[in-house]
Amino acid sequence: MSAIVWIHADCLRRDCAAFRDYPTAPALFVWDDVVLRGYGLSLKRMVFLYECLLDLDVAIYRGDVAGQVRAFANQHGATTIVTMQTPAPRFATIVADLRTTHTVEVCSDEPFVEAPADIDIARFSRYWTKVRGDVLRQPNQRNLFDDL
User: Which pLDDT belongs to residue 143?
Assistant: 47
- For 15-32, the pLDDT digits (tens) are 999 999 999 999 999 998
Is 70 exceeded by the pLDDT of residue 107?
A: yes
User: Which pLDDT belongs to residue 111?
Assistant: 60
Q: Is 70 exposed, middle or buried (0-12, 13-18, 19+ CB in 10 A)?
A: buried
Is 80 exceeded by the pLDDT of residue 84?
A: yes
36-40, 82-86, 88-92: which range is least confident on average?
36-40
Mean pLDDT of 96-121: 79
Walk me through the domains of the chain, giving residue ranges and CATH numbers.
3-107 (3.40.50.620), 116-148 (no CATH)
Is residue 106 very low, low, confident or very high in pLDDT (cuts 50, 70, 90)? very high
The single-letter DSSP state of residue 138 is P
User: Which pLDDT belongs to residue 132?
Assistant: 62
80-84, 124-128, 136-140: which range is least confident on average?
136-140
Q: Mean pLDDT in the chain?
A: 83
User: Nearest to residue 58, comparing CAs of 32, 25, 33, 81?
Assistant: 25
- For 35-83, the pLDDT digits (tens) are 778 777 788 888 998 999 999 999 999 999 999 999 999 999 999 999 9
Is 60 exceeded by the pLDDT of residue 100?
A: yes
Helices (H), 14-117: 17-21, 33-38, 43-54, 65-75, 91-98
Q: Is 130 exposed, middle or buried (0-12, 13-18, 19+ CB in 10 A)?
A: middle
**3-state SS class at 31:** strand
